[in-house]
Chain A
């Protein structure tokens, strides 16, 4: 991972480098390595799905099976957690799942950049999801949406305490959603880099031990890459459910 033969610290892989400096009305919108990998994510996902669905056979082949599996996986998540009304937002939830999954998985490719290891990306997604769901809930239920903060059947004297707790928990949703994803991705990649540097540091004699560890960790990281995409998606579905059914 030491690009160009240079030795770098474990955090170097998260550096943002501006490939094409751009400016829009005083706002820095440079095309960075992160943006490059976002474009790669879009290209790879679109290419994969277009090729996988090109034949549309009754008996699916391998690629078509993967495409249908991912479709039914996300559809199942959404239907189970947000009900039938939630299916209207299926394309959005599916895109979230594919984007995060692809970002996590492509991040496992050596020398690549993990888009989701940056707070800016995960926080933007989380805040847009939570704010969007809140707006949707208020549009659908008006003041009734605020039942989210007070489950029915709670004694009135508990209400002040409970509302405070529920409001805090609601407000921390985007924070936990974004920090969970970025911290997992960052920690995994940093750990991999630290152990990989041990391989070089310990040399031919003892370097095998951390190398084995790196191999095992890579397997774990692939699992976590999927798992975090899954968690991000299922939480989106669960939060979306609040917009449709604010009465617990």
Chain B
């Protein structure tokens, strides 16, 4: 049973698909069916609707979420009412979705259910906390690439990435695109001193100069660059962008002449919104990006079948991807990885 033991080393996990129909739900079912629930109290939720019979966008058949006896799950009231399992209602949370309040149940007799929990970063944080209050030792969030905040290490310490033919039907492109995401997730953590200096910063763009003094550039975000009237990289060892890191900001650092001496710092990989080409160029010229908090990428799962019917060779895909990202890659549907 690959990577289950690895997951058990953490108290929070998110599963992120790089595209719709890349087998994220299969992946979630795989994990949920194999976790030792008798030893570990587990709670699961999903941002937005998940577990529906048919994909709401592409109308392809989707596997349902199977919940085993003993697992805790949080979903909207309307979906709780339509569950096909026996469960004990343990909490009505203060979170709301378009389908009503989010409620938490504990499965008494296993079965299937639709899961659609909280979706914003802060509400997910609150969900994790309320699950802890119920004695839950491992929280699992079924996330989405469009809402990467669910995978932020501030919410989930470990993550599993799902990719597949739906993301790109060309193996090389798929490998290249996935590799870039993995590279961002695996960006190195900043030194302890740098983390301590920047961690309390909540907004704006800040620097740490040669003397170790922290400097506020007075920018509300990296988007308000037009307000800069000087070279902010001069004399700096680190520049911290608390919000989104954009192409424009990366270019500013790349073209400042200090690219080799200054290190860019972001909170975590979910804050990076830069083009791969620009990033490669930045790195080849000696640029460096580090993060304050790093997610642990536990595994990458692939689904070689695209919703349009196109099927890639699972063996070749796994092999190529594994080589590129230097991490184990699994095709969960093909290799059942039995109990």
A binds B: no
B residues engaging A (CB < 8 A)? none
